[in-house]
Amino acid sequence: MDISVIGINHDTAPTDVREKAAFTNSQKVGLLNDLLDYGIREAVILSTCNRSEVYIAYRNKECAQHISYVKEYYKSKIMLEGCEKYLFVKKGKDAAKHLFDVSAGLKSVVIGEDQILGQVKDAIMTSMEIGASKKILNKIFREAITTAKGIKQGLKISERPLSVSYIGVKYLKEKMKTLQGKKALMIGFGEMGKLALNHLLEEGVDSIYIANRNIEKVKSAFPNHDVIRSLAFSDRYDVINDVDMIICSTASPHKVIKYEDMPSIDKDIYILDMAMPTDVDIKVGEMEGVFLYDVDDLKEISKNNMKERKRLCKHAEGIISKDIRGFYDWMNSIKVDPVIKGINNMCREVESDTLDYINRKIELNCREKKIVEKMLSSALKRVVRNPVLKLKEEKDEQKVENYMEMLDDLFDLRMG
């Protein structure tokens, strides 16, 4: 038995193709049942916004046929001429490594992100619930999830922040010593601003004004919030001396804080300009008591964090390689199970037929029957012991395959 993965992800296909390849929950169940009906022994589907992947387990001689079936399914689903160029196929240890890397977040758009691990867990649970995942895929998904948890807890890759909003708030905290009990003015309420707002709330900021051109948008989002207050965009300068920090993140092509409109500053104020183009007139940073920072001040931190994530990923690769070796040692140990089971069944059948014959021909008491049974069972075990041990201990995978096929053929073990 071995495994493969066939699919599409953010490395191989653009967004519009990935959208066509994505699975709804009902489509997952439908395809898993189709794969089982076709004769694929085990299957798991992992479908997220950035990837759509089908993992299958099969006997080696079924490999090409089963991979081809999954590829044809993808082609019929995507329905784009030449879409096969977007598909990737990984087999054996390469497929195992791919799953381990994906589970640990090493293949994510943002390296080390945590969300994918939950999605991997959901994928295997769905497959197990309908009986599509069995001994092989259950084992490798369980191992990949365990390894990913160990990497996340031990290396803490995801704790090296990359988002400008997160780094920006932490940067202000470092400069101001603490954000707890402070007051903030936020100008702009887009995606980046919302993320920064969440981080400010986590840091225990006492009061946050949000100045936005669409004030109703802010009011409807926070109708009765103790900390957040909506503010008309035109009133933004009125509260500057009441706050300790300003965070700007608008999409305006013009400056939203101009030097000539700034009030006199009677205390230190920290301004973080996350916009591009910048929101704050550079001359504002020259004012007494004003500390102005922009995206360039954060880039180096983000860059260093990405370098550190990549360095930690190298370490994670070593952990993954070791665990994949462990999985394949287990795979090799169970590979011969059907042959051994077949040989044992054959011995039991010979033993049963022989005992029936002896009992018909010779009248034995209970004690004599037990002695004959024990001697016959022991003799048959002696006959097969050495071949079975050699089969279990053989490390050459090709030899193992050859032995298994030979025994299956010679003794008609019906391994399937």
128 and 240 co-located in one domain: no
Instruction: State yes or no: pLDDT of 334 exceeds 80.
Output: no
Q: Is 323 part of any domain?
A: no
141 and 186 co-located in one domain: no
182 and 292 co-located in one domain: yes
Report residue 220's pLDDT band, with 50, 70 and 90 as the boundaries.
Answer: confident
Taking only the tens place, the pLDDT of each residue in 75-129 is 888 777 778 888 999 999 999 999 999 998 888 766 666 788 999 999 999 999 9
pLDDT at residue number 344: 83
> Do residues 206 and 231 make contact, with C-beta atoms less than 8 angstroms apart?
no
49 is catalytic: yes
The number of folded domains in the chain is 3
> DSSP per residue over 73-112, as a string?
HHHHHH--TTGGGG-EEEEHHHHHHHHHHHHTTTTSSSTT
Instruction: State yes or no: pLDDT of 416 exceeds 90.
Output: no
Of the residues 49, 313, 347, 366, only one is catalytic, namely: 49
Instruction: State yes or no: pLDDT of 415 exceeds 70.
Output: no
104 and 220 co-located in one domain: no
> Do residues 342 and 414 make contact, with C-beta atoms less than 8 angstroms apart?
yes
pLDDT at residue number 223: 67
Distances (CA, A) of 349 to 140, 266, 377, 380, 400: 35, 97, 11, 11, 25
pLDDT at residue number 343: 83
Q: Is the pTM of this model over 0.75?
A: no
Domain containing residue 173: 164-298
| End residue of a domain, out of 268, 298, 328 | 298
> Do residues 109 and 163 make contact, with C-beta atoms less than 8 angstroms apart?
no
Report residue 240's pLDDT band, with 50, 70 and 90 as the boundaries.
Answer: very high
pLDDT at residue number 91: 93
Instruction: State yes or no: pLDDT of 159 exceeds 70.
Output: no
21 and 149 co-located in one domain: yes
- Interstrand relation of 269-273 and 290-294 (parallel, antiparallel or unpaired): parallel
Q: Is 390 part of any domain?
A: yes
State the average pLDDT over residues 136-151: 93
Structure token digits, residue 3: 């495994």
pLDDT at residue number 114: 74
155 and 200 co-located in one domain: no
Q: Is 331 part of any domain?
A: no
11 and 155 co-located in one domain: yes
* Count of Cβ atoms closer than 10 Å to residue 353 Cβ: 10
pLDDT at residue number 167: 81
Instruction: State yes or no: pLDDT of 377 exceeds 70.
Output: yes
Taking only the tens place, the pLDDT of each residue in 198-215 is 889 989 999 999 998 877
Determine whether 322 is exposed, middle or buried from the number of CB atoms within 10 Å of its CB (0-12, 13-18, 19+): exposed
